[in-house]
A and B are shown apart, each in its own frame.
Chain A
Amino acid sequence: MEIENLWSELKCKHVKADTGKLNVRKLRNSNNPALKLRNSIEFNTWFGIASILGCIYLTFQFTSIYIYSLMLILIIQSGYFTWRLYQSKLEFEKLSQNWDQSIIQALQTQIKLFKKTIKLLELRSLLFMPLGYLAGLMMLYDKNSISQNNPVINFSVIKSAIVLSLITMPILYFGLKLFHKISFGKYIEETEATLIEWEDVTHNN
């Protein structure tokens, strides 16, 4: 018996003509890792933009040069990471639309993008927090105590910010790493295993 004949027979059986109405719905609670990461990038990009606007607003509320400087650093930092995340989003979109490239290339690019984006999100949380704490604490103090006329830095503020950072940063950073591992770890592992297998075919024979 020919495999091809058997295949055409069973296709007639398994490929049922769908005459029903096409049901298209928005994916709200998809567990697909690629979609979850895409949603995470979207959220973090908007969060970044909101942070920048928030920092700009706060800059005008205080007169201290230290707070200005901190806000400027936060704006630059937030701007940089937001821009990088936006670039990741564009690269993911480009990848999903580029059907001219082979599957092996697509999977390789996808894994690289996944790892790069996850590292970006983790690094941002690591760098943002200490400066965010310092700025927040400085703003909580009476603005007369830290002003342009009194340029002496309040070391107790800096000390409090460092202590807060040391306590919460590891929890946040490693918590985020764990969350990423649970959400994306298996998918990355399986895709890498598939790639190794597919690349063996390319190099062997």
Chain B
Amino acid sequence: MTDSEFLCLINSNQATINYLLNLYVQDKIEKEDLKQEIIYQAWKGKDKFLQKSSFNTWLYKVCLYTILTFKRKNEKFIKINLENADLNNNSEELNNDNAEQLYQYIRGLNPLNKTIITMHLDGFTNQEIAEFIGIKTNNLKVKLHRIKENIKLNLK
């Protein structure tokens, strides 16, 4: 892959980088540092992109890998108190509230749980997630099930 092709691909997939950074990092300066680091790591490893998956999927893993190995602070995101959330009867607003609450809830999870649920919701298979983290698929299934049950419980 040439440098210009790579930059084009990165440019068009910036949204993936920003989305994952928003999920994992709160501090603005650390976000900026990590974004540069992700682009740098992706550029250094561009020849390893074997096109077995889409560039977006490859970049997703590079982002997660870099965030989890370079992240400086273990930040505590503000967790929404779902029990006291003011839910009205408007179903569309209800859904929007729940969507936002789901996002904030997932943001507040620890890195392990966050990685598991985010990758699952973003379409990765259990095997891919288990391999990425380094745990057995059975352990992952149990963990994922528990996380989803907790989310459902909190959103009801």
Contact = CB atoms under 8 A, between A and B. Distances in A.
B99 interface: yes
A205 B70 contact: no
Given A27-B33, A202-B134, A96 B99 contact: no
Say whether chain B's binding surface is mostly helix, strand, loop, or mixed: helix
Given A3-B152, A201-B139, A10 B15 contact: no
A103 B68 contact: yes
Interface in B129-147: 131-136, 138-139, 142-143
A147 interface: no
Nearest to B7: A22
A95 B39 CA distance: 16
Nearest to B34: A32
Given A18-B14, A32-B70, A7 B121 contact: yes
Nearest to B130: A102
Contact of A6 (B37, B44, B95): B95
Contacts of A96: 41, 44, 66, 69
A14 B103 contact: yes
B11 interface: yes
Contact of A25 (B10, B14, B29, B36): B36
B156 to A, nearest CB: 9
A47 B10 CA distance: 36
Given A9-B99, A201-B135, A34 B70 contact: yes
A16 to B, nearest CB: 6
B79 interface: no
Contacts of A16: 15, 18
B40 to A, nearest CB: 8
